[in-house]
Structure 1
């Protein structure tokens, strides 16, 4: 059989002028080439007042150079929302979650007060992963609380990452109840970390007012 070959000019939209290619991206005649999965990974800068990326920019304090990040707390079974220096998340990929993202499966915020956060990929390690058998993986997604997630990414010893999404198994997403949204969360967001001059309507201002508070679930976080 003939090997499939991408036609970069016809099969892909042109990348934006501000697009920054990921490491090891190959080029041909000035055009980036897709990887074996048909992806051309890279970054597009998110400017402070960008309307197109307004929810992304809402989680970044450009003056203080920090971002609002959801991550595991040092105490097992507890989540933490805190500002993280941008210098600590360079060359990483993070996912934006929140009110206006992908049907908001985690119940963050409301239309009146949208809430968005960044989640570093790989931050949440699966404690009891399923065996690498189709039926075991399917049972794990359907039968245990830890399986109420969008997908799994296996980190292989050779550096490869293998992602399995619920959709790949014909399973529904989003769910009414997710593993992440069922855990308690603490706010660690004092003003010295967030920056001194906070805009009154910014997420950093609202979270700094909740510094030290603990909530049973993500959807219980209220600013009023």
Structure 2
């Protein structure tokens, strides 16, 4: 179910949207907000969203697993952004024209340098063989997670010597429960995932604490929504108010490979919430360190969690390293 090998530059909303001249409740310093109308969007209709698989949109930072140095590696999202002069020209163009599509980018000159091993996301358009920016003036891409300070929380969920990652996913045997387990990075190749935890996006799921931070990877599409009502504006607003609806949003995985989304903010609903659906489920820790080179799994988070192996917790936020 995971979206393979790419970050879509813009996942369309299930409903058509309109821009309101009010401060955004989602993005700080954004002077407008995007809200959903009651009309199903053309993209949703073209992708036959009615037969798609709805999944929980998990609130984290996007990651990707592909090879680096000949082995499976975790890659962090890193957009290539324009220089200040180019961004100033771009904003002036939008202010004058109202759209960004016909802006004349000079890719070789207008964009900041990126790390040596940076790669563009697979769905980035090419112009004259070079990655071309999206409508926001960014070139989405990836950088391998090694020992960079800015990716320390990414680093704590992988161990390249053992070739494994810490993953939060549905329990293997109990569909209404979760499990924290070790997964070979080779099994996650060409998949995208969300990194969630203590120091990501304000920690909406209450995972860990400042003294003992915890982070996990969640494969995209891992948590399917089983009882979604008929796809109308009114029914979805009501559904987001029920226990199962206490999620950041919905992502529909369509049969043609497209993704369609709906965020609570599109409906004027709040996020984060005090109690989330993800945090209402019991959690088991199943690390199975004996399957791997145990002495290689020396990462502090791996080693701390290994002491909790086979333990069960009522909620995700109850998992503690103490």
Residue 95 in structure 1 maps to residue 194 in structure 2: yes
Structure 2 segments unaligned to the other structure (5+ residues): 1-96
Q: 8 Å contact 1:194–1:208 — kept in the other structure?
A: no
* Secondary structure of residue in 2 paired with 1:87: helix
Tell me the residue number matched to 1:186.
284
Structure 1 segments unaligned to the other structure (5+ residues): none
Tell me the residue number matched to 1:4.
101
* Secondary structure of residue in 1 paired with 2:144: coil
Tell me the CA shift for residue 194 of structure 1. Answer: 5.5
> Match for 1:43 among 142, 146, 154?
142
* Secondary structure of residue in 2 paired with 1:94: strand
Q: 8 Å contact 1:194–1:204 — kept in the other structure?
A: no
Q: 8 Å contact 1:64–1:194 — kept in the other structure?
A: yes
> Match for 2:258 among 154, 160, 165?
160
Matches within 5 A, 1:57-206: 57-74=155-172, 75-142=174-241, 144-193=242-291, 195-197=293-295, 202-206=300-304
In 1, distance between residues paired with 2:104 and 2:225? 39
Q: 8 Å contact 1:66–1:84 — kept in the other structure?
A: yes
Q: 8 Å contact 2:159–2:299 — kept in the other structure?
A: no
In 2, distance between residues paired with 1:8 and 1:33? 8
Tell me the CA shift for residue 14 of structure 1. Answer: 5.3
In 2, distance between residues paired with 1:68 and 1:214? 17
Tell me the CA shift for residue 212 of structure 1. Answer: 0.5
Tell me the CA shift for residue 5 of structure 1. Answer: 2.9
In 2, distance between residues paired with 1:96 and 1:175? 19
Shift in CA distance, 192/27, structure 1 to aligned 2, threshold 3 Å: same
Tell me the CA shift for residue 201 of structure 1. Answer: 6.2
In 2, distance between residues paired with 1:16 and 1:29? 22
Shift in CA distance, 133/13, structure 1 to aligned 2, threshold 3 Å: farther
Relative to its length, the structure with more strand (as a share) is 2
Tell me the residue number matched to 2:154.
56
Tell me the residue number matched to 2:117.
18
Q: 8 Å contact 1:68–1:84 — kept in the other structure?
A: yes
Q: 8 Å contact 2:161–2:296 — kept in the other structure?
A: no
Shift in CA distance, 161/188, structure 1 to aligned 2, threshold 3 Å: same
- How large is the RMSD of aligned CA atoms in angstroms? 2.4
Tell me the CA shift for residue 150 of structure 1. Answer: 0.7
Residue 212 in structure 1 maps to residue 303 in structure 2: no
Describe the superposition over 1:62-87 as per-residue Cα deviations: whole angstroms up to 9, x where unpaired.
11010000000131211000011111
Q: 8 Å contact 1:69–1:84 — kept in the other structure?
A: yes
Q: 8 Å contact 2:284–2:313 — kept in the other structure?
A: yes
Tell me the CA shift for residue 39 of structure 1. Answer: 6.5
Aligned residues: 222
Q: 8 Å contact 2:166–2:181 — kept in the other structure?
A: yes
Q: 8 Å contact 1:152–1:165 — kept in the other structure?
A: yes
